[in-house]
Structure 1
Amino acid sequence: MDFEKVIDRNKTNSMKWDFVSDRYGSSDLWPMWVADMDFQAPQPVLDAMQEVLNHGIFGYHRRPKSLREATTAWLQKRFDWECDNDQLVFTPGVVPAISHLIQTFTNKDDGVIIQPPVYYPFYALINNNERKLLRNPLKETDNGFTVDLDDLEKKMQDGAKMLLLCSPHNPIGRVWSYEELDSIAKLCEKYSVFVVSDEIHADLVLEGKHIPFAKVAADRNVETITCMAPSKTFNLAALQLSYVVFEKKASQKAYEAHLQRQFVEIDNPFATVAAEAAYREGEAWLEKLLEYVRENVQYVKEYIESNIPEMKVIKPEGTYLVWVDMRNLNMESSKLQSWLREEGKLALSDGHIFGDEGAGFARINVACPRENVDEGLRRLKNAYDNI
């Protein structure tokens, strides 16, 4: 649990570190963009994977019942959410899972609602599947960002079939309250809108408590399908294992039939044992991680407030991603983008990629040792001082 330890990720085919020039056009940028962590996975996970490696045979693999049991036990313990083992459908990642859900439960030109600024693959998932993208921008208030319920109702009146809910929200970092989720559920019930809830960051709550949308929707006639994974929680993204939780058996069967047509079934043994070990033995590691990330978030907030007063940190309630408001620098998106790269020598996630509402913002990943955070902040301050 040594989160201060700096591990060199260069020359490991890391997207964040080795391919920064492909994305940003320069190899000398300090990478704080991709949403993975610069921390090793929990030791029980490494040990479980080492056993598979030592065995040395990597033939066709099936997920054991024990993985389902570990997963549902985790959901019960962390979220007081009781799910049966047979409600889970395992998939090779949340983004592919959502794409298959769109294909299964909507038709061409059906309306799908998103709430920008939001995780940017949502746009491609809708557009590439030839669905109608309906935008329900979050509302910026003096108390932070929240859902614009009036606009959401208008979008539903326009004939939306599905809502893609991001909970906790990426990049804003909101952990939605019960009241907010219930207000969304009321509208979904009124207009018969189907909800796909991306809850991949559910375990990474820094303030408050994550409430699965399916628990709220259970009190209303709203069909909800939940997408989750151990990948963000335990830094296992490259293993490509996620799962979808169904509330209705008929929908689950329809989805499974779709996956079978696409031959999306085979798992790999490293993913299986890693996920099970994480859920059975990784909780202590996670609690220490959350403590460390909270401290990093607070450090970033205080540093920017003291040294770069024109910027404002939107303190996340969840995720290890910090949304920073840079609009007071009065730069167009393209100029801000080039300033961060050329003057700051930083690779941050540009706000505009999350939607037009993100223009003037940047997302900073703080799931890294404090030494790495310091380097990123030093570069940001130097760029600011040189304006």
Structure 2
Amino acid sequence: MTFSFDKQIERRNTRAVKWDLVKALYGSEDVLPMWVADMDFEVPPAVKDALTERAKHGVFGYTFTDNALQDTITDWLEYKHDWKVKSASIQYSPGVIATLHMAIQTFTEKGDKVLIQTPVYPPFYEIVKSHDRELVKSQLIVKENKYEIDFEDFESKLQQGVRAFILCNPHNPVGRVWTQAELEKIVALCKKYHVLILADEIHADLVYQPNKHIPIAKIDEDMEDQIITCMSPTKTFNLAGLQVSYAIVPDKQKRDALEKTFHKQGMHILNTMGITALDAAYNSGREWLEHLIGQLQTNIDYVDNAFANHPKVNVFRPEGTYLIWLDFRELELSQDELKEFLQKEAKVGLNDGASFGEEGSGFMRMNIACPLEIVKEGTTRIIDALKK
């Protein structure tokens, strides 16, 4: 089957965060939005058909998850990541960030230290601070235009009494897909210092050759019970608005404790349409995803090549995700000046690099999960503004 990713779908007036909040966020309707991490592509036909049929039924009462849905998830994880997961280890959730919030509440106490690697997805900061935990940061370092883990710093931070570490893999925003060797070092150090690993692997399915996503829970069987892995079909198949995800929690005691916290917050049932979409996507979306990866690769190639002749912008080519980390530091602008330049001169709405932490100052994040013509338009607007 062939799939088209060049269709420009009008998303305005659908309450789309990405498109309908442009004026409120960027001050003008003519700014091209390339920011929030959802796609401008239609979902796989099988998902659209399944949701349509479910809507035709006309009754949307309470919906439960069953063994068939568990099998769908375990089959997907084995197919996509060669990861054999016991169905009993699955914990459902409306979202990965919700699960991380619940895990911090469940497995740490007020004042406990929680480690993150910066720059990183902005909600990670809120997850730690909103529960009165102490935020500990280990800054990623750049070597040969590629972000790496500073393991000396990482270990020194763990030595300070860190209780939990939130891993982002593939990493948002820098686009790294951590290698087997890197993951082995992480696991060994967390094992040494008895640190719980909370892994956000929501972009796991969106990885480009020759890179390969390896669930960190596969690294060491002895550490499996000290790892909670958060995953979802929402980034993969553009289902973010349906709020459906799951965590893999092998240790029954931890799983029961986490489930208890979810129930305390009244979060114990999934969205009916979310269940329908997950089931259809994982069962019938494999070929569509292969084509999507090809389209995203084409879009990344275009951005990388377009900026190659413009030394004022450095592209960190992503190994995974559909997000490109752009380095504008050669422009020697303050962060406010950089934002104003992109909004008012280039007329492109990107994510503010500083929102990912102070280490993101001078950077911006670009979402390229849209038809190539939009990618070309946004890139051209930036380049033309730079020429001026």
Question: Aligning the two structures, in what range does the TM-score lie when normalised by the shorter sequence?
Answer: over 0.9
Does structure 1 conserve the Cα–Cα contact (< 8 Å) formed by 2:208 and 2:293? yes
The equivalent of 1:95 in structure 2 is 97
Task: Note if 1:209 corresponds to 2:187.
Answer: no
- Aligned pairs, how many? 385
- Structure 1: which 4+ aligned runs deviate by more than 6 Å? none
Q: Distance in 2 between matches of 1:257 and 1:219?
A: 25
Change (3 A) 1:221 1:265: closer
The equivalent of 1:5 in structure 2 is 7
The equivalent of 1:156 in structure 2 is 158
Q: Distance in 1 between matches of 2:267 and 2:126?
A: 20
**Equivalent runs, 1:1-387 vs 2, <5 Å:** 1-142=3-144, 144-207=146-209, 208-220=211-223, 223-306=226-309, 308-386=310-388
- TM-superposed deviation, 1:3: 0.1
- TM-superposed deviation, 1:194: 0.4
Amino acid at match of 2:251: K
Does structure 2 conserve the Cα–Cα contact (< 8 Å) formed by 1:217 and 1:224? no
% identity of equivalent residues: 44
Does structure 2 conserve the Cα–Cα contact (< 8 Å) formed by 1:68 and 1:85? yes
Q: Distance in 1 between matches of 2:168 and 2:24?
A: 28
- TM-superposed deviation, 1:19: 0.8
Q: Distance in 2 between matches of 1:96 and 1:219?
A: 27
Q: In structure 1, the residue corresponding to 2:346 is in which secondary structure?
A: coil
Does structure 1 conserve the Cα–Cα contact (< 8 Å) formed by 2:112 and 2:162? yes
Instruction: Give unmatched runs, 5+ long, in structure 1.
Output: none
Q: Distance in 1 between matches of 2:175 and 2:322?
A: 8
Does structure 2 conserve the Cα–Cα contact (< 8 Å) formed by 1:114 and 1:135? yes
- After superposition, the C-alpha distances for 1:92-113 in whole angstroms (9 at most, x for unaligned) are 0111111011000000010010
- After superposition, the C-alpha distances for 1:63-92 in whole angstroms (9 at most, x for unaligned) are 232111101100011111001111101100
Amino acid at match of 1:316: P
Q: Distance in 2 between matches of 1:195 and 1:269?
A: 30
Amino acid at match of 2:37: A
- After superposition, the C-alpha distances for 1:265-290 in whole angstroms (9 at most, x for unaligned) are 12222111110010000000000000
- TM-superposed deviation, 1:139: 1.1
Q: In structure 2, the residue corresponding to 1:227 is in which secondary structure?
A: strand
Q: Distance in 2 between matches of 1:347 and 1:330?
A: 20
Q: Distance in 1 between matches of 2:223 and 2:272?
A: 39
Q: In structure 2, the residue corresponding to 1:99 is in which secondary structure?
A: helix
- After superposition, the C-alpha distances for 1:21-43 in whole angstroms (9 at most, x for unaligned) are 22233322100000000000000
Amino acid at match of 1:324: L
Q: Distance in 1 between matches of 2:94 and 2:23?
A: 27
- After superposition, the C-alpha distances for 1:125-178 in whole angstroms (9 at most, x for unaligned) are 111111100000101112511111111111111111000000000000000000
Amino acid at match of 1:139: I
Q: Distance in 2 between matches of 1:144 and 1:212?
A: 21
- TM-superposed deviation, 1:375: 1.1
Amino acid at match of 2:356: F
Q: Distance in 2 between matches of 1:219 and 1:341?
A: 50
Q: In structure 2, the residue corresponding to 1:195 is in which secondary structure?
A: strand
Q: Distance in 2 between matches of 1:116 and 1:23?
A: 24
- TM-superposed deviation, 1:259: 1.0
- TM-superposed deviation, 1:202: 0.1
Q: In structure 1, the residue corresponding to 2:40 is in which secondary structure?
A: coil
Q: In structure 2, the residue corresponding to 1:136 is in which secondary structure?
A: strand
Does structure 2 conserve the Cα–Cα contact (< 8 Å) formed by 1:195 and 1:222? no
Amino acid at match of 1:144: K
